[in-house]
Structure 1
């Protein structure tokens, strides 16, 4: 599936194409890494909390409840992703 970029597409120069069948393992690993975050329930200092993690699992922040964690993700212009 080839994709031709437009002037508004940030990572691709005008006229560039990308074929997802030829994406490298590293490019696949990094795909969406800076735009996606998820929430995981954790225990912090003996209290239930909700940890916000980057797509690669790096902890980024703590929140008191799930809704606050999702709101923080959205406020920071990231896309919340749910894990199953």
Structure 2
């Protein structure tokens, strides 16, 4: 997953010590690497549950929603609703 605080040179841009000075792009991506969502998908002819990072990057496929949620929590991520 891309680092949201990486600048165009590929170097990590630290959050400012005073969060009132956070940039717009930093604020929009804050915490995104910790969020995940699930959606039903067809995989090898079977209905499965895909786990995606907040930016839509596919991360894994599980047999059912309960297993998918368990995997998200096991990796210390936060499950979020897909609107």
Q: Please indicate, yes or no, whether the TM-score normalized by the shorter chain is above 0.5.
A: yes
Q: Within the alignment, does 1:75 sit opposite 2:54 as a pair?
A: no
* Aligned residues between the structures: 70
Listed as ranges, the matches of 1:41-80 within 5 Å are 41-80=40-79
User: If each structure's strand is expressed as a fraction of its own residues, which one has the higher value?
Assistant: 1
Q: TM-score, normalised by structure 2?
A: 0.73
Give the unaligned 5+ runs of structure 2: 1-13
Q: Which has the larger radius of gyration?
A: 1
Superposed CA deviations along residues 40-69 of structure 1, whole A, max 9, x for unmatched, are: 111111110000000100000000000100
Give the unaligned 5+ runs of structure 1: 1-10
RMSD: 2.0
Q: TM-score, normalised by structure 1?
A: 0.72
Which residue does the alignment assign to 1:23? 23
Give 1:12 deviation, angstroms. Answer: 5.3
Give 1:33 deviation, angstroms. Answer: 1.6
SS in 1 for 2:19: strand
Which residue does the alignment assign to 1:36? 35
4+ runs deviating over 3 angstroms? none
